[in-house]
């Protein structure tokens, strides 16, 4: 069995890192470079950096910013936000990203997933799926930082991007985001059972047991978290120690 990864998520807005609840009420949580240097020392498997304003503002990724902080990041790095073309994927990989996350573009420009995978390899392409539970309907995929419904079912969308060549899926529950009440295990399980590529669980982690549950009950291949590391004493390294003690293979 492959090692389960623990992936802190850095959400970037304007000039610094932020964290909110349900993709709203963003509040500052510190400096980008400082956070990266801390995570370098804390046994982190990977890091995800998402510019949450780029798509909403219709601007491309900030390549200079990524170039600057990628030099200080000593772990695999996924970068997302504002990516709409294959050339933008290429430029992010050139300035230091190991993987590029596609969210809105994976819906509005679905051929981009195939084009990026064909050109750079599936291992470089992460499709980020943000899903919200609609009462009486079920989960729906949202784009533009969770502000626009698409009418798409996340399971159907996940199958589609897998067929197009995505290497893995970053699956976030908008409802659970920032609440630290636990992952949406039903959502995670629905998607992991429908695809064969790795699924990263995101949205709601508040304890080490939540991370264990995402793997054991949701069958996630990796766990992403933000608030738990920003607002509590819990750390990625201790998270992995707890997971290992519960029989989950991790890299220590």
Higher per-residue confidence, 219 vs 14: 219
250 within a domain of the structure (yes/no):
no
Q: What's the domain range around 72?
A: 5-245
pLDDT, tens digit, 9 for 90 and up, residues 155-189: 999 999 999 999 999 999 999 999 999 999 999 99
Check pLDDT > 70 for residue 103: yes
Q: Which residue has the tokens 């409802």?
A: 175
What six digits make up the tokens of 189? Answer: 């399980």
In sequence order, what E strands does the chain have?
Answer: 5-13, 16-21, 24-30, 47-51, 77-80, 99-102, 125-134, 138-143, 148-149, 168-173, 199-202, 222-225
For residue 86, name the pLDDT band (cuts at 50, 70, 90). Answer: very high
In the prediction, which pLDDT does 30 show?
81
Instruction: Quote the percentage of the chain above a pLDDT of 70.
Output: 100
Of 196, 185, 126, residue with least CA distance to 159: 196
Across all residues in the chain, what is the average pLDDT?
95
Element at 210 (helix H, strand E): helix 208-216
Let me know: does 158 contact 166? Beta carbons within 8 Å: no
In the prediction, which pLDDT does 43 show?
74
Number of domains in the chain: 1
Check pLDDT > 90 for residue 28: no
- The CATH number of residue 123's host domain is 3.20.20.70
pLDDT, tens digit, 9 for 90 and up, residues 221-238: 999 999 999 899 999 999
In the prediction, which pLDDT does 174 show?
97
251 within a domain of the structure (yes/no):
no
Let me know: does 79 contact 72? Beta carbons within 8 Å: no
In the prediction, which pLDDT does 36 show?
93
29 within a domain of the structure (yes/no):
yes
In the prediction, which pLDDT does 222 show?
98
147 within a domain of the structure (yes/no):
yes
Query: How large is the average pLDDT for residues 111-126?
Result: 98
171 within a domain of the structure (yes/no):
yes
252 within a domain of the structure (yes/no):
no
140 within a domain of the structure (yes/no):
yes
231 within a domain of the structure (yes/no):
yes
Let me know: does 200 contact 223? Beta carbons within 8 Å: yes
In the prediction, which pLDDT does 206 show?
97
Check pLDDT > 70 for residue 1: no
């Amino acid at each position: 069995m492959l090692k389960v990864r623990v992936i802190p998520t850095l959400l970037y807005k304007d000039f610094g890192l932020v964290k909110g609840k349900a993709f709203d009420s963003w509040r500052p949580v510190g400096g980008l470079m400082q956070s990266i240097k801390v995570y370098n020392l804390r046994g982190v498997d990977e890091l995800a950096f998402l510019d949450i304003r780029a798509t909403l503002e219709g601007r491309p990724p900030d390549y200079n910013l990524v170039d600057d902080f990628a030099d200080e990041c000593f772990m695999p790095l996924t970068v997302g936000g504002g990516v709409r073309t294959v050339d933008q994927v290429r430029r992010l990989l050139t300035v230091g990203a190991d993987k590029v996350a596609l969210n809105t573009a994976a819906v509005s420009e679905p051929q981009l997933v195939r084009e990026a995978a064909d050109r750079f390899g599936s291992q470089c392409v992460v499709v980020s799926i943000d899903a919200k539970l609609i009462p009486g309907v079920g989960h729906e995929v949202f784009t533009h930082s969770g502000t626009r419904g698409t009418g798409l079912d996340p399971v159907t969308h996940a199958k589609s991007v897998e067929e197009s060549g995505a290497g893995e899926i970053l699956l976030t529950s908008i409802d659970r985001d920032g609440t630290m009440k636990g992952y949406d295990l039903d959502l995670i399980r629905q998607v992991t059972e429908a695809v064969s590529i790795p699924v990263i669980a995101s949205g709601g982690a508040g304890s080490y047991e939540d991370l264990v549950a995402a793997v054991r009950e949701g069958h996630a291949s990796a766990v992403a978290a933000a608030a738990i590391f920003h607002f509590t004493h819990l750390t990625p390294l201790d998270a992995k120690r707890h997971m290992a003690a519960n029989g989950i293979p991790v890299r220590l």
